[in-house]
């Protein structure tokens, strides 16, 4: 996780007071007390009205100055995975010299941050931030959807001390998070079903290494094996030279996402992308070079951990659509091909077909498919929940 410095603090957009069902009911009750006291000239009603009006003034006066000195910074990881917990950290600092802040609620603005509900509800609470103090709130959430999530605005609010009015400060700090697809546990030996057993070493790379093919010759240095000395070449140049072998190249696997996937439901399409990610990670763990083609996307096969992260990032952004233009990669005759399609269909000789309609047959015995994620609440429902004070809050704060 890259942690931002103090100079990366979020910019304050605005401060405001919010009306809620409880505050409106309280104001209405206070008005009725005033009307009753004036009409009846009852000292007890005047006293009750004074207490109610004073509570409103105190509620706004106490918590308002506390939010004036609040500053915040958001730190998020660069990557996440669907179904796996990630942590978002907020650093809250109170710049006020005298006013402490109590009962702070941190919440992401859903209308600008997560319009598709990718991260669900992002909210946490901080009980107390003293004057000139700094508190960190850590929120543990589980992403629901893959894709590129942009976090823009978040708010810090409080109803301290009496819960009559809610005051908030809205801040802006742009950050992006790549949510990679869920990976599934597959049956062991699934890659062995490829034609020819898919030998790990398919050719030699034009890099010096420890393979079997000759890369070139170089001058002998103390410590070189006597078996590596090229005696005939040494006789020609008049000094000892040794053979230098080339670095072996791993076998190449192409993951071919077929156009038939566009006809599946969104949940089935996510399963198809999860299968592609699972095959990619499995092949990479066995030392193969992985490439992906389909729906206008192309990643050439390369070995290495950094490359497989590029493959997963591509799958995170992949949009399965019938309107995507086709890409024709240069697949060699010795390359292996894993075809992912909606149903059984003709595939090239020696390729491995994985049909989403029969996806359970390739899963490990103790693995199961994920349930469809719940639909995000509508704007009206979110607004009504906020008005009634029913906003969901989850997370924990540490100091």
Domain boundaries, the chain: 6-180+378-398, 190-200+251-362, 204-249
Task: Give tens-digit pLDDT for 8-32.
Answer: 678 888 888 777 777 788 888 888 8
Mean pLDDT of the chain: 80
Average pLDDT over residues 24-52: 88
Q: Which of 70, 71, 73 is nearest to 1 (CA)?
A: 73
Q: How confident is the model at residue 42 (pLDDT cuts 50, 70, 90)?
A: confident
- pLDDT of residue 194 exceeding 90: no
Q: How confident is the model at residue 292 (pLDDT cuts 50, 70, 90)?
A: very high
Q: How confident is the model at residue 163 (pLDDT cuts 50, 70, 90)?
A: confident
Task: Give tens-digit pLDDT for 98-144.
Answer: 888 888 989 887 654 444 456 766 778 888 888 889 999 888 888 88
Percent of the chain with pLDDT over 90: 21
- Residue 382: predicted pLDDT: 62
Task: Give tens-digit pLDDT for 62-78.
Answer: 767 778 888 999 999 98
Between 313 and 119, where is the model more confident? Answer: 313
Between 265 and 232, where is the model more confident? Answer: 265
Among 191-200, 264-273, 322-331, the range scoring the smallest mean pLDDT is 191-200
- Residue 64: predicted pLDDT: 72
- Residue 11: predicted pLDDT: 84
- Residue 249: predicted pLDDT: 66
- Residue 340: predicted pLDDT: 93
Q: Is 278 helix (H, G, I), strand (E, B) or coil?
A: helix
- pLDDT of residue 212 exceeding 60: no
- Two tokens at 330? 């240069």
- Reported residue count of the chain is 399
Q: Which of 63-77, 108-122, 253-267, 364-378 has the highest mean pLDDT?
A: 253-267
- pLDDT of residue 314 exceeding 80: yes
- pLDDT of residue 199 exceeding 90: no
C-alpha span between 55 and 299 (Å, rounded)? 64
- Residue 280: predicted pLDDT: 93
- Residue 313: predicted pLDDT: 94
- Residue 122: predicted pLDDT: 76
- Residue 115: predicted pLDDT: 42
* Residue 49 CB neighbours (<10 A): 21
- Two tokens at 117? 């509900």
Q: Which of 122, 42, 112, 106 is nearest to 71 (CA)?
A: 106
C-alpha span between 373 and 270 (Å, rounded)? 11
- Residue 316: predicted pLDDT: 93
DSSP collapsed to 3 states, 66-96: HHHCEEEEEECCCEEECCCCEEEEEEEEECC
- pLDDT of residue 6 exceeding 50: no
State the first-to-last Cα distance of the chain, in angstroms, to the nearest integer: 19
Which one is the CATH code of 6-180+378-398: 3.30.2270.10, 3.90.79.10, 2.60.40.10, 3.90.1300.10?
A: 2.60.40.10
Q: How confident is the model at residue 383 (pLDDT cuts 50, 70, 90)?
A: low
Average pLDDT over residues 266-285: 92
């Amino acid at each position: 996780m890259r942690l931002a410095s103090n100079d990366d603090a979020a910019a304050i957009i605005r401060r405001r007071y919010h009306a809620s069902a409880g505050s409106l009911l309280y104001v209405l009750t206070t008005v009725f007390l005033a009307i009753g006291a004036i009409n009846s000239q009852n000292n007890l009603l005047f006293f009750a009205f004074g207490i109610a009006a004073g509570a409103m003034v105190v509620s706004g006066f106490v918590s308002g100055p506390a939010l004036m000195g609040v500053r915040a910074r958001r730190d998020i990881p660069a990557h996440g995975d669907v179904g796996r917990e990630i942590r978002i950290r907020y650093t809250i600092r109170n710049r006020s010299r005298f006013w402490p802040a109590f009962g702070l609620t941190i919440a992401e603005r859903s209308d600008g941050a997560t319009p598709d509900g990718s991260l669900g509800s992002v909210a946490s609470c901080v009980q107390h931030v003293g004057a000139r103090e700094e508190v960190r709130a850590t929120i543990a959430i589980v992403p629901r959807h893959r894709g590129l999530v942009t976090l823009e605005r978040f708010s810090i609010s409080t109803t301290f001390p009496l819960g009559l009015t809610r005051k908030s400060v809205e801040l802006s700090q742009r950050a992006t998070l790549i949510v990679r697809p869920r990976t599934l546990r597959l049956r062991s030996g699934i890659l062995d079903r490829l034609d020819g057993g898919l030998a790990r070493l398919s050719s030699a790379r034009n890099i010096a290494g420890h393979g079997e093919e000759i890369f070139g010759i170089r001058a002998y240095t103390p410590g070189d094996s006597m078996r590596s000395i090229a005696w005939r070449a040494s006789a020609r140049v008049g000094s000892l030279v040794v053979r230098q072998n080339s670095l072996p190249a791993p076998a190449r696997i192409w993951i071919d996402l077929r156009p038939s996937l566009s006809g599946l439901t969104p949940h089935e399409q996510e399963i198809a992308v999860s299968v592609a990610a699972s095959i990619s990670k499995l092949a990479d763990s066995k030392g193969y070079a992985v490439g992906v083609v389909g729906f206008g996307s192309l990643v050439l096969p390369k070995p290495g951990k950094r490359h497989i992260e590029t493959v997963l990032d591509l799958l995170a952004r992949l949009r399965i659509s019938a309107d995507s233009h086709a890409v024709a990669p240069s697949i060699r005759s010795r390359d292996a091909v894993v075809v992912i399609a909606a149903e059984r269909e003709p595939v090239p000789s020696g390729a491995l077909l994985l049909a989403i309609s029969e996806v359970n047959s390739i899963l490990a015995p103790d693995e199961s498919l994920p349930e469809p994620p719940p639909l995000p609440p509508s704007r009206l429902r979110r607004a009504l929940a906020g008005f009634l004070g029913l906003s969901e809050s989850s997370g924990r704060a540490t100091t």
